[in-house]
Each structure stands twice: as structure tokens, then as C-alpha cells.
A and B are shown apart, each in its own frame.
Chain A
């Protein structure tokens, strides 16, 4: 699997915070928050559609075994092949086998997070097959040998100057003094370079936003058209998907499509939403001769049972991370694996283990914006809390935190002792505060607070003691 650096989340985050280019890029963003709101405002049925989308996903998950069987039957009936893969390794090997059977030398790729999850690119390269990312953002990070930092806008952490430097470094067949001042010239260059790769590719690999059981169809949602050139021009089209991508019918998928692009980028529809079913038909003048769908489990069937099932509703729109104050502060790479932001905080521990990814569900203020904007209403903060409960049970939280909590709990469960101790402590602290103008810039044991903030001094005795004194009430 791709190297997991989630255990060093704190260090990743500090580096991200100290990176001025990243901070500037994250502050600028892409206006996704405003655009989503505008799109939602333009559609009175938006919230009703979110309920509908959630219900369709829940129904599908509750009948997933049967829908998978129905889907497989339809794909096969129309000339396609379905391959099931339990593990990432099996998925990689299945893809390689298909490529080897047609002696593939280069493979174009549309954007697919599953490929990142199973670390497909490095594997193919090792085995002598060259993968070429065609989504512009993915292409840019591929030449930088980075992971995507956002599931919709993989290169959101980069600015134009960085992209220009990379193009000059890598496109050595072009005149070194050429003008690359504008984003438009960079795009034109990428278009020309990738057009040649599209036409030369032997195999095209795409992901799938949805798999439709009714018709045996896979759907990709793009704006660039790269996914379509990837899946139409080569001899072979491979779809990489996971089991929870299933949706029962075309009408069901219309419900999901209506909330997907709006939640992701604020568009009513993406430019290209493509439904693919099987290989080219007998009289088709273009299209791939072979159509393969690799359906991966990689831990998801286990998630159906238990408190994380709701996470399988995710349609990978990215709204949660767009609205997350933590993601906006540190960017996607800090999360250390494929999936960043709130959805990454819940999903990553399920897929790589909470012992590796424990920081992710802890680094949240539970502000709730993610759940508020999720098109399929996933209760993300609740599931992050569930992970914290699992860590607590397994004693995975830091010892200092556990003992601090135990100390506090000792008093919190004993009201009389608590009132006595706090009254004494607050009076003392308040007195000390008089020497510091009402606030502390340093406080023993409170280094986490005072590193960046002053700590306001308490007013004096506690409220409970003052109330009792004034009102003469016995408590």
C-alpha cells in the first residue's frame, strides 16, 4: 500500500503550517464553499434530495450482496468481465494480468482514488507497464511524485509557479525558453503532451463514481474529458471500483448525481458524466474491445457490520473537507494517506488500522460542518468519537492524556470535593492574575494553551461559592 504517514500527523501538520506556499494555496482555495451554497440555494429540492440519496445508499448497503450479483449478471450479459478482489494485492495483480494479456506498454488513467489506495502506479511501473495520469491535477502530482491532497482537486496545494517549474523540468522535448506565464499556456501544453499519450495507450483505467445494477453500467464524473479519452481510445477499458459503489437503478443514480456535483464544486452537473456498459458493440466504429470491472473489498464488507457502516454511503464529493477548519489549516498531505479531511479521518482507521491512523479522528473540534454539508448525511463527528472510544478502550491514547483525564474525573464525580478544590484553586489563580494584568502568557501545565494564546485569569471564587454566599442557600 502507499506509505502511511498518518502516525506522524502532528509533525506533518506542523510542516504544513510552516509552509507559506501551502498556506496561501489553502487560503485561496477554489471557492467550493460559496459555490456549493449557491448551487444549493438555486435548488429548492436540495435537502429532500440529500434524504433521498441517503435512503438509496442505506437500502443498497442492506442488500449489497444481491445487488452485486444482479450487477455482475448485467455486465456479463453485455460482454463485460467482472473480477472480484478481496485485497489490494489481488486487485493489483488482476489489473496487471489484464494488461499483460494485451502486452500493454502504456496505460492511461482517469482519476481514481482506488488506484491510490492499492498503490497501483508504483506496482505497474515495477512490472514494466507505464501508467500515465491524465486528470490534470493528477498529472501534475504524478510528475512531482506526490499523493493527491484533495479527492476532487488533487493539486489544490500547488500554485502556478510550482506547476510551471515542474513542466519545465519534465517536458524536456519542448523549447526551454518557451512562454509559460499563464495558466492557459500551461494547460495547452498539458493538453498537447497528454493527447499523444491518450492516442498511444494500450489500456485505459478509470474509477467509477457509481455502478448501476439495473444495467451493468459504470459511471465516471469529470470536467476535463480525460476519463472519456482514457476509456474510449485504448483496446481495453478497466474500471477500478469498490463494493459500496453499487446503486440499484438509473433513477436512483439520478438522485445521487443531483447532489454530487453540487456538493463537490457547486456545478449542477459536471461537464462529462459518462455511463459505460460493456465493450464496443459489433457495429461501433470506436470504443474499447474489452471491458473489465475490478471490484475490490479491502475491508469494506467488514464495515457493514457495526458503527462505521454509514461511512460506506460516501460518494466522494469532498464537501466535508472543503468545509473543515482543520483540513483548511493543514491541507490533505498531513493526513498521511489517500483520504484526507473528515471522511479520511473516519475511513482511514478502518482501512489501515486505528493504531496507525489514530490521530486523524482526534484532530477535530467536532464543529459539525462536515455532517451539515454531507450530501448523504453521514454522521462524521459521531464516528470520529467512536474511534476515540475504541482507542480509549485499547489504551492507545497518550498516557499523559489518560492520567489528566483520570485526575479531572476524580473530582468531577465528587461534587463536594470539586467545589472545595476549585474554589481554593481559582482564588489562588485569580490572585496571581492580579500581577499579570488579568491574563497569563505562561502557565505551568498549560503550555498547549499559552503557546499561542494568553490565558484569562479567573474572576475570583467560583460561581457556586459566590452564589451560595449571596443567596445563603445550602447546597
Chain B
């Protein structure tokens, strides 16, 4: 008997079932299909304007920085300004996300922009988030050529653009958007839920930012809701 079948048999023996019982099978099929949500905190259940405000507060509470940019075309200038204000080299890498491609990057003459995944040699990256959750100040990023996962982790500084309309009040809303985009029961290779820059308190109980992931996380909330 394969290990798989040994384990399933052992589970069934412990539970006192055969595995063929219809009510049990139905309960499982139903739950997987209907994916009922449970307790959703009131915290994020706000009107769009208040929701954005909460999101920004939570990002900062997690040691990230955040700014609102009403006009999408101002993003390249904001990126340049951010790098300058931190004395960082004027160079970023981004993915092929069409929303990023649409920004007028060439207006920023001093800013070098390359595209593709990171190989560890880049100091700053720009990603576009799939969405965000105000409840905890969490960004949701999906893998793929649009926003390569390595851009989220290898560079020192990570700048993430998110559309104001995609800032949800709770995780459940974003889960449903994932289902709508990728299909039921289907996911991209990676969904990163990111809340603040990388950190560790493992040495002498002192909290330090920038353990293995980015030291700096800067969020740009773009457009009106």
C-alpha cells in the first residue's frame, strides 16, 4: 500500500469512517465551493476615503512609508523624489505591468528604469500591487512577468504602487478578486501579502529593519477611489 493510502486509511480508522459517507463528502464539497467567510472585523469596513486613511496609518505603524498621489502620471516624479530624498542611486527595476509601463518614465531624465526580475544587483524596485487591505496595511502582490517576485525581496528599497480603488477593507474582498481573475481553485505561483519592510528581533531582542528582505518599503496610493 502506498504511504498515501496508509495515511488516509489511518485517518479514516481513527475517525471511524470509510471515506465514502455522502454527508461528509457533501460537507467538504460545499465548503470548498461556497468558501463562507467567518468573522470580518469592523475595523476595515469603512467608506473609501476613510479606508485609504486607515490603510496609510497601518502602513506607517508597520514601519513603512506611504504617500497619496492623485494623478497616476505623477508617479515617476514621486519615485525620483523619494530616491533623492534618501540619497539613493537614481535607478529602479520594474516588471512589465502595463499600468507601470503607462507611466511617463521618460519625463524623469535622471532616473534609470530597467525591466525584469532582480538578480540581487538592484538597489531599488517598483512593483504594482494587485490590491491592498486596509485592516492591517497589507499589500497583495501576485507573481509573474508583470511584477516578478524577486523584485519584492532582493532590492534594498521596494516601492509599491497601488490603485486607491484596489484598497479593500478586508482580505476576503481580495481573495474574491483573485478567484475572479485566476479562476476558482486556481492561483498564481506566489501571492505575497506584505506588511512593512523586513525585520528581525533575533539578536539581543533588538528590533532591526532590513533582515533579508527590503530595508525600506514605500507605498504610493494612486488616484481617487
Contact = CB atoms under 8 A, between A and B. Distances in A.
Contact of A214 (B8, B32, B210): B32
B7 to A, nearest CB: 5
Contact of A56 (B11, B38, B175): B38
B11 A271 contact: no
A29 interface: yes
B123 interface: no
A153 B35 contact: no
B211 A232 contact: no
Interface in B15-63: 15-17, 19, 24-25, 27-28, 31-32, 35-39, 41-43, 58, 62
Nearest to A63: B28
A223 B199 contact: yes
Interface in B178-225: 178-179, 185-206, 208, 210-214
Interface in B136-159: 136-138, 143-145, 148-150, 152-154
Contacts of A274: 190-193
B27 A224 contact: no
Contacts of B213: 224-225, 228-229, 271-272
A50 to B, nearest CB: 9
A243 B145 contact: no
A86 B116 contact: no
Contacts of B189: 276-281, 284, 287
A281 to B, nearest CB: 6
B114 interface: no
Contacts of A183: 203-204, 206, 208
Contacts of A224: 198-200, 211-213
A195 interface: yes
Contacts of A401: none
Contacts of B185: 74, 77, 214-216
Interface in A293-310: 295, 297, 301-306
Interface in A414-453: none
A239 interface: no
Nearest to A134: B212
Contacts of A285: 95, 116-117, 145, 148
A278 B3 CA distance: 22
Interface string A38-53: 0000011100110010
Interface residues of B, number: 84
A223 B15 contact: no
A271 B38 contact: no
B23 to A, nearest CB: 10
Contacts, number: 273
B199 A284 contact: no
A400 B225 CA distance: 73
B10 interface: yes
A136 B31 contact: no
Given A277-B188, A285-B148, A137 B202 contact: yes
A287 B188 CA distance: 11
B120 interface: yes
B112 interface: no
A229 B3 CA distance: 31
Contact of A66 (B28, B172, B202, B206): B28
Interface stretch (A10-18, A155-163, A338-346): A155-163
B14 interface: yes
B196 A64 contact: no
Given A224-B212, A271-B195, A66 B19 contact: yes
12 contacts: A49-B38, A63-B27, A187-B200, A215-B187, A268-B137, A268-B195, A271-B195, A275-B192, A287-B149, A297-B10, A301-B10, A302-B14
Given A273-B195, A274-B192, A275-B190, 9 more contacts: A69-B8, A199-B120, A225-B212, A233-B150, A250-B175, A251-B37, A252-B35, A258-B39, A277-B190
